[in-house]
């Protein structure tokens, strides 16, 4: 067999001589190495530029840059699989899957991999089992012999997809060759298409890849691409230094991210996601619990579907949600009285000292409603219990008041101690900003709250008054 030049026709499509047989590209620019009856013939490629590592087999007897992929070949990711018309200004080495009904330079190329070589398109004909990744969809794809379908894996960029045709030492292997030892010092690979190309790396499982120093990838389609990264489980992805991803489709993307659980995703850098579908996307964030989300720096979400969405926020509990910087939310979240804001606890907040001596303090609340208001004043008995230190006294008009033009809130002796001339409209509130005496006071005996009508007597309406207080409990020993 004699060496022949590759020619270029006027349409910008490379023509390969039909008698070349099985071809594999060599490492030099424009050089093709042909394997025919085990003889190697180097063919000068002219001005054509070919993608590194592209496997060419069974070249058809027709013009074009057709190549045919071997079954189960992996190909670097493509930008899109939905275009039928070539993009107007592709960058060199851009790759696409040609959609049904290809036009222009892509006419008749449906389902083929098209790569722009700078002045022409190069095409690869997939065979059943060929695989690649769609970058725009963040999905792995597999060719079923008729069309491309989602394979269930996460997206891997070109940097995360080492060339499966070229071992790290730069030499060329026959496509599809698998060995028990990897291509780098101390590396091991086991399973169909397993690749261990990093020093002391280990790849175990079909299509697993461990491509950096001290990486471990165990499981079908597992990828460990960062130094000291670990990926365990089907479709797991650990792409950066010291990342750990364990569980089906778990992803640890930035440095020191840890993802544990099915579809868990740690993407913030130094972030941790634990639980099915847990997601930690803020730097240093922690999401623990099924469906939990920690999406800003140093945010912590613990509990099923807990959500901490601002820097240094904390959400603890089922469906707890913390939505402001430096806010902590504890407990359930829902409508009405179950809504939690800032730091709230369902029930009393217990503060303990030396528990062996029974040193305990309680922060509590007491809420009283006065309905069907009438007369010159209304007394709400024993709102503040004996032994309480009052921290706050607040209220709301829950039914519009009639008769009076306003009202004062006092303790029976000081008529407006906790509010003066409060409005009578529905949903009017009063709080510590309305106090005329701002002192936090201890009440050895229980104390009433008195609402005094202004302008005229009360004739209707209702008010809810709530006292917040601290109670100290004497030691038991």
Q: Which DSSP string do the residues of 86-123 spell out, in sequence order?
A: --SSPPTT-EEEPPSS--GGGTT-TT-EEEE-SSSEEE
Asked if residues 114 and 123 have their Cβ atoms less than 8 Å apart, the reply is yes
pLDDT attached to residue 290: 86
pLDDT of residue 182: 52
Residue 398's nearest CA partner among 427, 358, 376, 430 is 427
Mean pLDDT (the chain) is: 75
For residue 11, the SS3 value is: coil
pLDDT for res 107: 93
Domain coordinates in residue numbering, the chain: 1-155, 361-473
pLDDT band at 42 (very low <50, low <70, confident <90, very high): very low
**Whole-number pLDDT of residue 78:** 93
Burial degree of 357 (CB within 10 A; 0-12, 13-18, 19+): exposed
Per-residue pLDDT band at 352 (split at 50, 70, 90): low
> 360 pLDDT band (50/70/90 cuts)?
low
What fold does the segment set 361-473 form as a domain?
Jelly Rolls (2.60.120)
Decide: 320 and 332 in contact? Cβ < 8 Å.
yes
Q: Kindly indicate the confidence band of residue 312, based on its pLDDT and cuts at 50, 70 and 90.
A: confident
Find residue 113's DSSP bridge partners.
97, 124
Find out whether 21 and 36 touch, Cβ atoms under 8 Å.
Answer: yes
pLDDT tens readout for residues 207-263: 888 888 999 988 888 888 889 989 888 889 888 898 998 988 888 888 888 988 888
Distance CA 365, CA 343 (A): 15
pLDDT reported for residue 206? 86
Instruction: Using alpha carbons only, give the angle 263, 267, 273 rounded to the nearest 5 degrees.
Output: 50
Tens of pLDDT, residue by residue over 104-135, are: 999 999 999 999 988 888 888 888 888 889 99
In this prediction, residue 351 has a pLDDT band, given cuts at 50, 70 and 90, of low
pLDDT in tens, 260-292: 888 888 888 898 989 888 898 889 889 888 888
């Amino acid at each position: 067999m004699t060496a022949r030049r590759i020619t270029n026709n006027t349409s910008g499509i490379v023509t390969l001589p039909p008698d070349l047989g099985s071809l594999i590209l060599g490492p030099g620019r424009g050089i093709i190495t042909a394997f025919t009856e085990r003889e190697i013939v180097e063919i000068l490629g002219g001005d054509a530029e070919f993608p590194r590592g592209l496997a060419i087999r069974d070249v058809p007897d027709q013009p074009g840059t057709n190549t045919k992929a071997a079954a189960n070949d992996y190909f670097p990711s493509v930008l899109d699989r939905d275009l039928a018309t070539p993009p107007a200004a592709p960058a060199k080495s851009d790759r696409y899957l040609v959609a049904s009904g290809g036009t222009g330079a892509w006419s008749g190329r449906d389902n083929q991999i098209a790569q722009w070589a700078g002045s022409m398109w190069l095409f690869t004909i997939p065979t059943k089992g060929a695989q690649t990744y769609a970058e725009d969809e963040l999905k792995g794809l597999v060719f079923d012999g008729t069309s491309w379908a989602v394979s269930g894996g996460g997206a891997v960029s070109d940097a995360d997809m080492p060339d499966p045709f070229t071992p790290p030492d730069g030499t060329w292997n026959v496509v599809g060759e698998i060995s028990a030892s990897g291509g780098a010092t101390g590396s091991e690979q086991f399973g169909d298409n397993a690749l261990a190309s990093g020093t002391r790396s280990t790849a175990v499982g079909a299509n697993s890849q461990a491509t950096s120093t001290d990486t471990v990838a165990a499981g079908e389609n597992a990828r460990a691409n960062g130094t000291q990264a670990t990926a365990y489980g089907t479709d797991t992805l650990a792409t950066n230094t010291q990342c750990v991803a364990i569980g089906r489709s778990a992803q640890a993307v930035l440095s020191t991210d840890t993802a544990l659980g099915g579809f868990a995703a740690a993407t913030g850098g130094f972030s941790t996601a634990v639980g099915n579908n847990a997601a930690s996307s803020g730097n240093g964030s922690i999401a623990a619990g099924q469906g939990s989300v920690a999406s800003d720096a140093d945010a912590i979400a613990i509990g099923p579907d807990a959500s901490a969405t601002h820097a240094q926020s904390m959400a603890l509990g089922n469906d707890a949600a913390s939505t402001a910087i430096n806010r902590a939310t504890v407990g359930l979240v829902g409508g009405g009285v179950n809504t939690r804001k800032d730091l709230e606890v369902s029930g009393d907040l217990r503060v303990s000292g030396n528990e062996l001596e029974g040193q305990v303090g309680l922060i509590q609340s007491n809420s009283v409603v006065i309905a069907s208001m009438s007369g010159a004043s209304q007394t709400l008995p024993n709102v503040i219990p004996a032994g309480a230190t009052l921290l706050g006294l607040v209220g709301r008009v829950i039914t519009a008041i009639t008769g009076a033009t306003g009202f004062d809130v006092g303790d029976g002796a000081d008529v407006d101690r906790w509010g003066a001339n409060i409005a009578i409209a529905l949903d009017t509130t009063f709080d510590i900003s309305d106090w005329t005496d701002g002192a936090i006071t201890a009440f050895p005996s229980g104390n009433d709250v008195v609402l005094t009508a202004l302008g005229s007597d009360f004739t209707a309406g209702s008010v809810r008054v709530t006292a917040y207080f601290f109670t100290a409990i004497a030691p038991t020993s």
